[in-house]
Amino acid sequence: MQDIHWYPGHMAKAKRQLSELVRYLDLIVEVRDARIPITSHNTDLEPILGKKSVVVVLNKIDLADPEVTPKWSDWFWEHKIPMITVNGKNGNGVEKIWQIAAEQLSGKSLTRAKRIAVVGIPNVGKSSILNRLLGTGAARTGNIPGVTRGKQWIKHQDFEILDTPGLLPPKITNQTEGYKLALVGTIKDQIVDGYDLALYLMENYGVKIFENDESYPKQLTVDEQLAWFAEKRKFLVKGGGPDLNRAIGTLLHEFRNARLNRVSLESPPIESAN
Ligand SMILES: Nc1nc2c(ncn2[C@@H]2O[C@H](COP(=O)(O)OP(=O)(O)O)[C@@H](O)[C@H]2O)c(=O)[nH]1
Ligand SMILES: [Mg+2]
């Protein structure tokens, strides 16, 4: 895999902007990808948020393994992290955000509206969720000096929610995280080599992806599995060999769009009871 590096200045600027914003907030809605609930969280958020209330929203549940997502729900609540699962694309579950926000802030007596912002790494669905939230009869309110240059607070019930999401780059500290982020589409294919990515996918998730396909050759090497996929789809080069490039492109495309068996790339860690 090629080096993935974010310019340190890029990360620093995002952190600074978010720190400035957080001072004005009562609650942060942190959107994560349900297929990678850990890797789609940038741990640099924690010192920025301090003791502010956070609600985690696991989005894109339509793309995740339906057996794994409920385990994540249990895991978050066991760790006392309020969370809900949603589909930002069709809006399912998004309304629950108002309810859980109200619950989390119920102990807080404020004479002004309670202020919320949506934050997260790129492509997790922040804008989709925000649009759904704001499509529910919300009205624009005045500016709050300091934080709102170019931004607007939108009034909904006794909340004010910022109309633009807070953005943090993903934090990539090892190759596996890079692969996972590339597989869910957070970082572009140009950064991670498609062949490496397809091999990583086959090696770690091939069994799950093709669990309903009896012809899937578990016992073969990942290269041979890619060739199997090419042949199965009749992707052949001139002369008759498997067209691996086309197989890689199709495999990644179909994975990302959940045309294959739905897979979560991360499951909750198994913790001992003591
Ligand atoms: N399948 C699916 N796609 C989603 C969902 N939420 C957002 N998307 C898609 O994911 C892409 C990124 O969403 P966007 O809201 O722009 O993410 P942002 O970068 O975090 O603001 C878009 O193509 C959305 O249509 C979801 O729950 N399911
Ligand atoms: Mg956006």
Task: Indicate if the pLDDT at residue 236 is higher than 50.
Answer: yes
d(CA 105, CA 80): 15
Specify whether the CB–CB gap between 260 and 249 falls below 8 A: no
Residue 11: the pLDDT is 85
The pLDDT of residue 2 is above 50:
no
**Is residue 251 very low, low, confident or very high in pLDDT (cuts 50, 70, 90)?**
very high
Ligand 1 atom closest to the Cα of residue 258 is: 1
Q: Which two tokens stand for residue 116?
A: 């919320």
Mean pLDDT of 54-78: 97
Smallest-distance ligand from the CA of 164? 2
| CATH of the structural domain 193-256, one choice from 1.10.3720.10, 3.40.50.2300, 1.10.150.120, 1.10.1580.10 | 1.10.1580.10
Distances (CA, A) of 176 to 83, 179, 203, 224, 250: 25, 5, 12, 22, 21
**Helix (H), strand (E) at residue 166:** strand 166-167
| Average of per-residue pLDDT across 168-183 | 93
Note the pLDDT of residue 9: 77
> How would residue 151 be classed by pLDDT, with cut points 50, 70 and 90?
confident
8-167 and 193-256 share one CATH topology?
no
User: Which one-letter amino acid corresponds to residue 17?
Assistant: Q
Report the pLDDT value the prediction gives residue 1, as an integer from 0 to 100: 44
- The string of pLDDT tens digits covering residues 107-130 is 888 889 999 999 999 999 999 999
Type of residue numbered 200: Y
- Strand spans (E) along 201-272: none
Instruction: Report d(CA 74, CA 4) in Å as an integer.
Output: 33
* Domain chopping of the chain, boundaries: 8-167, 193-256
At residue 135 the predicted structure's pLDDT band, cuts being 50, 70 and 90, is confident
Q: Which atom of ligand 1 is nearest to the CA of 121?
A: 20
Of all protein residues, whose CA lies closest to atom 7 belonging to ligand 1? 125
Q: pLDDT band for position 268 (50/70/90)?
A: very high
Task: Return phi, psi of residue 223, to 5°.
Answer: -60, -45
Residue bearing the CA closest to ligand 1, atom 6: 88
Q: How many CB atoms lie within 10 A of CB 127?
A: 14
pLDDT range class, residue 62, cuts 50, 70, 90:
very high
**Stretch 42-65: mean pLDDT:** 95
Measured from the CB, is residue 185 less than 6 Å from ligand 1? no
User: Would you give the DSSP letter of residue 189?
Assistant: T
Point out which residues pair with 153 in neighbouring strands: 162
**Atom of ligand 1 at shortest range from CA of 86:** 27
Model pTM above 0.85: yes
- State the CB neighbour count (10 A cutoff) for residue 135: 10
What CA–CA distance (Å, rounded) separates 188 from 201?
16
Report the alpha-carbon angle 249-125-40, nearest 5: 75
The rounded Å distance from CA 129 to ligand 1 centre is 8
Distance of CA 164 to the CA centre of its chain: 17
Residue with CA nearest ligand 1 atom 26: 60
Report CA(78)–ligand 1 centroid distance (Å): 27
| CATH H-level, domain 8-167: superfamily | P-loop containing nucleotide triphosphate hydrolases (3.40.50.300)
Q: Whose CA is nearest to atom 4 of ligand 1?
A: 89
- φ, ψ of residue 120 to 5 degrees: the values are 160, 175
Å from CA of 112 to ligand 1 middle: 32
